[in-house]
Amino acid sequence: MTLLSVKALSASLAGKEILKDVSFDLPAGEFVGLIGPNGAGKSTLLRTVLGLTPHRGEVAIEGRAVASMSARERARHVAYLPQERDIAWPVPVEMIVALGRDVHRPVFSRQGVADREIIDRAMRRMEVEAFRDRPATELSGGEKARVLIARALAQDAPLLLADEPAAGLDPSHQIMLMKTFAALAGEGRSVVASLHDLGLAARWCSRLILLDKGRIVADGPPQTVLTRERLRSVYAVDAHLGEAGGKPVVMPLDLADRNGP
């Protein structure tokens, strides 16, 4: 089943074309890393898929045009983790995570047993149960990030779009996050996560979409997308490409123009 279909998508902001003729299909069961340099258009693509940015072209979620869905209906099909990690309300962590369930219940109705289980599972997955009663405003940056990811998981949508979800997480929580997203794909959902850490992207994603200047320049398994030449031409870095435990290893080493091949 195709969870997301994007066809000939273009988007302009402040009179400048940011996305140019972007097309891809996303079947169920994929963990896609959306990669590309600063300003390539990753956040704009995620926001445009949600219908939050004016665009030309087509976006369909589970076969339905996103433009025809109400915000509440869309939220049952796709969860979105924005890049901004600020939590303004000094309310308990658990209450923030529980907000993810709101789209599934009539307004003012109470949480059911199934809601509670999903909220608890999301908190366990992101290891935030230990501070479930603490005001979210008192947490560290990485802890807040995990609470907001848990809220997106509690939404329990078939598709998750996450904008730089690994930013601010320590190495063990980054790996825990990537394993969680891979597990969601294993459960038949799909995840699209923008990532700057190419090592994480190469190791854990089933597919990478590389954006450069608003266009898709490569789309496929990590080994085929992350070539030495592309890392040079798109990121202007020289990198070590290797393998460990049957998975690719990518380590940017130096600026390409300072360090020859």
Residue whose pair of structure tokens reads 């848990």 in the numeric block: 150
Q: How far is the CB of 128 from ligand ATP (least distance, A)?
A: 25
Q: How far is the CB of 169 from ligand ATP (least distance, A)?
A: 16
Nearer to ligand ATP, 54 or 260 (CB): 54
Nearer to ligand ATP, 213 or 228 (CB): 213
Q: What are the DSSP E strand ranges found in the chain?
A: 2-13, 16-27, 31-35, 55-61, 64-65, 78-81, 159-163, 190-194, 207-212, 215-220, 237-244, 247-255
CB environment 103-116: b (16+ within 10 A), e (fewer):
bbeeeeeeeeeebe
Q: How far is the CB of 89 from ligand ATP (least distance, A)?
A: 25
Residues engaged in binding ligand ATP (CB under 6 A)? 13-14, 18, 36, 38-44
Nearest to 27 by CA among 46, 47, 44, 6: 6
Nearer to ligand ATP, 76 or 215 (CB): 215
**What distance in Å separates the CA atoms of residue 129 and residue 237, rounded to the nearest whole number?**
40
Nearest to 204 by CA among 251, 247, 146, 158: 247
Question: Quick check: helix, strand or coil at residue 37?
Answer: coil
Nearer to ligand ATP, 92 or 252 (CB): 252
Q: How far is the CB of 6 from ligand ATP (least distance, A)?
A: 15
Q: How far is the CB of 129 from ligand ATP (least distance, A)?
A: 30
Q: How far is the CB of 198 from ligand ATP (least distance, A)?
A: 13
Nearer to ligand ATP, 44 or 190 (CB): 44
Nearer to ligand ATP, 184 or 211 (CB): 211
* 184: CB partners within 8 A, 6+ apart: 31, 153, 160, 190, 191
Nearest to 93 by CA among 129, 117, 125, 118: 129
